[in-house]
A = this chain, B = another copy of it.
Amino acid sequence: MVSGGQVLKEKCGIVAAWDVDEAAHLSYLGLFALQHRGQEGAGIICFDGKRMKGVRGQGLVSQVFTRDQIAELKGRAAIGHVRYSTAGGSLAKNLQPIWVEALDSEIAIAHNGNLTNAVGLRRRLEAEGSVFQTSSDTEVILHLISRAKGNFEARLQAALDEVEGAYSLSIMLREKQSLRVFVVKDPHGFRPLVVGKLGTGFFAASETCAFDLVGAEYLREVDPGEVVEFGPDGLKTWKLKKKAKTAPCVFEWIYFSRPDSLVFGESVYEVRKKLGELLAAADKKAGFKPDLVMGVPDSGIPAAIGYAQAAGVPFEMGLIRNHYIGRTFIEPHQSIRDFGVRIKQNPLKHSLQGKRVVVVDDSLVRGTTSKKINQILREAGVKEIHMRISAPPTISPCYYGIDTPKEAELIAANKNLSQIRDFVVADSLEYLTVEEIYQYVKPKTPMCDACFTKNYPVVPEVIGAE
């Protein structure tokens, strides 16, 4: 979900469709449901029975694909990708799925995650004469597959044996006239990836919200290190050789995934409500009861509802989002304070005036957006602002597929609690701890919480190099 001022960004979302009518069209719907995982670009490659065809472009899913293009992307198999990208220039080089064609075969690949040893691998491949047309680490996987020997399964094993880090992949492979689709999750299982049944075929996606739209029936989360292969004989599953400690990303629950998704087997909405309950429990214990509780739209709302129910405090909307907001809103020359926030959200003055308010948000990264929102709330007459963050302080970057600011920009890595509170013009500020989250939410396996704890499951090159 997109919050008022989104700072942390998921780098991607993926889908795959096998043996379904209008595979590209359903992939388009699936990508639309995953739009929150990447708003900068999108792409679909399908197989029309003879060859692969595709469309990739910059912008939202609804902007990238035209009716005519979708109609042209015929066939019963497809993979797709939405991406968030910092890529400069206008060549749109890094759009996915990456698609390469040999004289007798084609491979398309879509990747959600981040390889932690991509630079070293790339340096070696370049020395061996490989030509890179993108700066994406996804291309590294392709070159490794291409240089490996044996059948495709052997080459995929060999390639993934060499890469480290986070990857949930959709791969479409044509060998002469024979087609297969694979979805793969890295051995740590950092990013979510689910498979479902759709008619006689299958659908896979980063989150179950994509299933709800296309009408797929949820089967299960792909296991860490698992390859699910869709082929002429239906679904087959096998394991990567490489083993690792399971480490699904806890931040998918806290912030990134849609609340209506099942992620790592849990309802995201229910997890977030529980985080709100934890916040309420702490306040109760401390003897603090506000006049009302509100969430920062949209991502803070489930935890605010959890807080309200647990604390017996009225839940109020607090801020109204403007749903017509576009990308290119024209700001006047005269200064309108906090214009960027104000154009998106407007406080419900008459409900807030003179009140002691708990404002729940799911993270506090740089702190600048929270500060602006709180300023707007104060102007609207709020008496006291008590910020409650439904997560621990974010103190360190993610190397597994989330776009985080550098440590120097993370407010919790640089200021103490009272400094942060002052910065965001709040009267009080509280976070959760990793321990109380695990104790209350009870995940089935250990999770990756490196952004809160610096306990990185895989040491990235960039750190090793320092």
Chain B residues with Cβ under 8 A from A336's Cβ?
29, 213-215
Please count how many residues in chain A sit with their CB below 8 Å of the partner chain's CB atoms: 99
Q: A252 to chain B: closest CB distance in Å? A: 16
- A447 contacts the other chain (Cβ, under 8 Å)? no
Q: A267 to B351, Cβ gap below 8 A? A: yes
Chain B residues with Cβ under 8 A from A301's Cβ?
317
Q: A90 to B55, Cβ gap below 8 A? A: yes
Q: A269-B317, A320-B259, A347-B260 are in contact. Are A133 and B133 (CB under 8 A)?
A: yes
Instruction: Tell me which of A92-100, A391-399, A408-416, A417-425 binds B.
Output: A92-100
Chain B residues with Cβ under 8 A from A148's Cβ?
129
Q: A358 to chain B: closest CB distance in Å? A: 15
- A81 contacts the other chain (Cβ, under 8 Å)? no
Instruction: Tell me which of A168-176, A242-250, A324-332 binds B.
Output: A324-332
Q: B65 to A100, Cβ gap below 8 A? A: no
Chain B residues with Cβ under 8 A from A348's Cβ?
259-260, 267, 269
Instruction: Tell me which of A18-26, A189-197, A230-238, A367-375 binds B.
Output: A18-26
Chain B residues with Cβ under 8 A from A63's Cβ?
326
- A35 contacts the other chain (Cβ, under 8 Å)? yes
Q: B346 to A213, Cβ gap below 8 A? A: yes
A-B contact pairs, 19 of them (CB 8 A): A2-B323, A25-B333, A26-B332, A33-B346, A55-B89, A70-B330, A101-B135, A103-B122, A103-B126, A129-B143, A129-B146, A129-B147, A131-B131, A133-B133, A260-B349, A267-B349, A267-B350, A269-B317, A269-B350
